[in-house]
Every structure is written in C-alpha cells, then in structure tokens.
C-alpha cells in the first residue's frame, strides 16, 4: 500500500472515531430526553434550613416530579424556588435513571429593618428575605418620624490623640471632667441607637427573627430585592462583622454619613466610624471588652473608629495618691472624677497600674 493510501485510511479512521465520540452521546441524549425511563421519581434535598425544608421539597416536587431528568437544569430548579427569597444558591446532580439531587444554600437573617412601609427581615448582604405581617388594627410604624441621628457623637475617623490627653499626662488644673462626660469623648452616647423601636406584638415575623438587631431606614423595601440605601447597607455590614457572641447581644445599629453606632445589650454603645478596617475595629473592640471584663466593670461607650487607639468609658484606673481636683500640673496622674477614658494603644489592651504595680479595680479609689 502506498503512503497516500495509508494517510487516507488514517484520515477515515479519525473521522469515524470523531463521529462515534460525538454521535453516540448525542444520540443517547436525544433518545433519553424523550424516554419515560429517565423521568424524575425521587428528589434529594440538602442544605435547606429545617424550617424551610418541607416547603422547599413541596415546591420541587410540584414543579419537577415526572420531568425528564435530561431536561432538568440549574436554571429550572432556581425558577421552581423563585418564591423563596432566602435561597442564595442552587446546584444539581443527576443520579440516573430517576433521582435528582438538589443542594441549596440560604441567606442568613441578620437584622430587622424598620422601613417606611413596615418591618422586614434582611440578610447581611442586604437582601430582603421577608416582610412582617401586620394584624388588623395595628398601625404601620413609620421610620420617617424616628430621630436616628448621631448628633453629639465624637467625630468618626478623627484621631483620639487630638481629643484626649496622652496616656499618663495630667489635665489642666481645675479642668476636671464633668460628671458623665469623659476626656477624649466629645459628647455622650447618642440616645437614638439605644432607643431603637422593636416590633409590636401585632407584627408577625418569621420564627426566630424577632430578637434580631434593628436598623431603621426611610427607604421603601421589597421582598426578594436588594437594599439600595447606603446607610442601611453600612449598618448591616458592621453587624455582620461582629463576632457571633456580640451579634446575638446587639440591639441595633444607626448609620449616618460619617458614623455607624451599634448598641450592645448589657454592654456599650460602639462607635465604628465608617466601614473601613472592620476586622481591625472588631479586634480592638474585643480587646477593650476583655479588659473591662477582667476588671469586673461594665463598659458603656467604646470608640473604635481609629482601631489603633480605641477609647472607652468609664475610666479603668484612678489616681494613685490624689484626686484629679487636687492634682498638680505635670504630676502624671489621670483625671477620673465622674468618668474617664481608657485607652488600649495598638490594640494591646494593657491596663494602667498604680505605683504598687497592682491594677486598680474601679473607676475611682481613695487617695
């Protein structure tokens, strides 16, 4: 056989093999799409929360049982679950001849949002998951009439060193802080974040969501859509960044153009400033709270807008030998009458100590 004949036979063999590789699966696919042997008879669901499993299974069975397994796609499964706004993602696996495996992930409820048209359950990413049902006769709350400003708060993002004395430096003579106002904090915590509304008894919410932290917005929300209001999204991002133990205790969050504040039940009001460096700010908050816990004190206000130099009240240590009112300039004592600021420079959370080397255990001590 000549060389040309050999090449011709090799070419024909390659063409036949390509037709076989492409044609057989295509033929099986075309035949299988119309064969009743491959109809969906069983659906295996994973990833759904127990509260939603039954409803999701019913929706899948209603839309997909009896459908040819070759005709089931991820898009078709998503369409079958379109009525469930908490579905975040869906993937499928076909187990021939008649089993469809569906794995789904859900958005996690993160907060209750009081909007201009009622109460809503939202996820940390800003997706609206559910709306609270109002019983007849219960007035719809309006967020537009709520004062949610942070007036009187320290300027977020400003360096604490510009507003507070350096550690160990004494205040000017006769300039002891007023009761309830601490050095380094230019105002008392805003009452708005600690007076956020809660859903009334006549508001029906999904199970387990009534205790979620509250965020107030004047925007109009729609179930299944994403929140567009930047202030609300910023508050949700901060709440989502909190450790789970603090997130469970969070009462709510208030956001403005320059400030985000979170109120912790039984704990402090926390000033975060903006949403930059959230991980560092949360770390600084944990260090400060741990320091107060070791001192057996309750922290009432923490400013972590500059995470390298967090500020907190009340003061952890007292003057070692004399009161702030009688302290001489340059003695190195710290004002403590009626309040103060505890600093944890660099996030170390190191407590200041008395000359004896023992950390003071209360905001004030006897001279």
Condensed to tens digits (0 to 9), the pLDDT of residues 336-348 reads 333 445 555 444 4
Alpha-carbon distance values, 185 to 152, 175, 177, 274, 314 (Å)? 10, 15, 11, 17, 11
What's the number of domains the chain is made of? 2
Task: Write the CATH number for 54.
Answer: 3.10.20.310
Per DSSP, which regions of 124-186 are E strands? 128-131, 133-134
Bin 300: left if φ > 0, else alpha if -120 < ψ < 50, else beta. Answer: alpha
In this structure, the answer to whether residues 175 and 101 fall within a common structural domain is no
Q: Is the peptide bond before 314 cis (omega within 30 degrees of 0)?
A: yes
Q: Is residue 248 in a domain?
A: yes
Q: What range does the domain containing 99 cover?
A: 33-106
pTM here? 0.67
Q: Is residue 22 in a domain?
A: no
Q: Is residue 185 in a domain?
A: yes
In this structure, the answer to whether residues 73 and 170 fall within a common structural domain is no
**Residue pLDDT, tens place only, 284-293:** 999 999 999 9
In this structure, the answer to whether residues 151 and 100 fall within a common structural domain is no
Q: Is residue 167 in a domain?
A: yes
In this structure, the answer to whether residues 118 and 133 fall within a common structural domain is yes
pLDDT for 29 equals 65
pLDDT for 196 equals 86
End position of a domain, from candidates 106, 137, 162:
106
In this structure, the answer to whether residues 126 and 212 fall within a common structural domain is yes
In this structure, the answer to whether residues 178 and 261 fall within a common structural domain is yes
In this structure, the answer to whether residues 329 and 253 fall within a common structural domain is yes
Task: With a cut of 70, list the residues of the chain below it in pLDDT.
Answer: 1, 20, 22-30, 138-192, 194, 317-367
By 3-state DSSP, what share of the chain in percent is helix, strand and coil, each rounded to 5? 30, 20, 50
Q: Is residue 296 in a domain?
A: yes
What is the helix (H) or strand (E) element at residue 281, kind and residue range?
helix 278-294
Distance CA 69, CA 64 (A): 9
pLDDT for 251 equals 94
In this structure, the answer to whether residues 151 and 242 fall within a common structural domain is yes
Alpha-carbon distance values, 215 to 61, 138, 152, 157, 290 (Å)? 37, 21, 20, 22, 26
In this structure, the answer to whether residues 48 and 182 fall within a common structural domain is no
Closest of 85, 93, 105, 4 to residue 44, by C-alpha: 93
Q: Is residue 66 in a domain?
A: yes
End position of a domain, from candidates 73, 106, 139:
106
In this structure, the answer to whether residues 148 and 86 fall within a common structural domain is no
In this structure, the answer to whether residues 280 and 247 fall within a common structural domain is yes
Q: Is residue 1 in a domain?
A: no
In this structure, the answer to whether residues 335 and 189 fall within a common structural domain is yes
pLDDT for 113 equals 95
Q: Is residue 362 in a domain?
A: no
pLDDT for 342 equals 53
Q: In what order do the strands lie in the sheet with 99-106?
A: 42-46, 99-106, 87-95
């Amino acid at each position: 056989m000549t060389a040309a004949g050999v090449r011709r036979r090799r070419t024909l063999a390659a063409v036949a093999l390509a037709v076989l590789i492409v044609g057989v699966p295509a033929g099986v696919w075309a035949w299988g799409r119309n064969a009743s042997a491959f109809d969906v008879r069983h659906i295996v669901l994973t990833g759904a929360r127990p509260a939603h499993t039954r409803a999701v299974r019913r929706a899948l069975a209603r839309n997909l049982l009896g459908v040819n397994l070759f005709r089931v796609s991820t898009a078709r499964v998503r369409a079958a679950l379109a009525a469930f706004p908490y579905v975040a993602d869906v993937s499928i696996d076909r187990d021939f001849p008649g089993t469809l495996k569906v794995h789904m992930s859900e958005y996690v409820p993160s907060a209750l949002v009081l909007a201009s048209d009622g109460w809503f359950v939202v996820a940390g990413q800003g997706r609206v998951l559910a709306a609270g049902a109002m019983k007849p006769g219960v007035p719809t709350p309006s967020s537009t009439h709520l004062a949610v400003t942070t007036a009187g708060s320290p300027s977020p993002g400003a360096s604490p060193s510009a507003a507070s004395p350096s550690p160990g430096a004494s205040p000017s003579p006769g300039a002891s802080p007023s009761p309830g106002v601490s050095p380094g904090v230019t105002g008392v915590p805003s009452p708005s974040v600690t007076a956020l509304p809660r859903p009334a008894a006549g508001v029906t919410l999904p199970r387990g969501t009534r205790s979620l932290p509250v965020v107030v917005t004047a925007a109009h929300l729609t179930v299944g859509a994403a929140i567009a209001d930047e202030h609300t999204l910023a508050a949700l991002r901060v709440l989502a960044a909190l450790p789970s133990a603090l997130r469970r205790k969070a009462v709510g969050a208030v956001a403005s153009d320059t400030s985000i504040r979170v109120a912790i039940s039984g704990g402090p009001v926390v000033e975060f400033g903006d949403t930059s460096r959230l991980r560092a700010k949360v770390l600084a908050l944990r260090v400060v709270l741990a320091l107060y816990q070791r001192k057996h004190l309750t922290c009432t206000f923490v400013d972590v807008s500059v995470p390298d130099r967090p500020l907190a009240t009340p003061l952890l240590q007292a003057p070692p030998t004399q009161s702030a009112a009688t302290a001489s300039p340059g003695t190195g004592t710290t004002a403590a009458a009626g309040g103060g600021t505890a600093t944890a420079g660099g996030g170390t959370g190191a407590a200041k100590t008395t000359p004896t080397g023992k950390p003071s255990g209360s905001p004030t001590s006897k001279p």
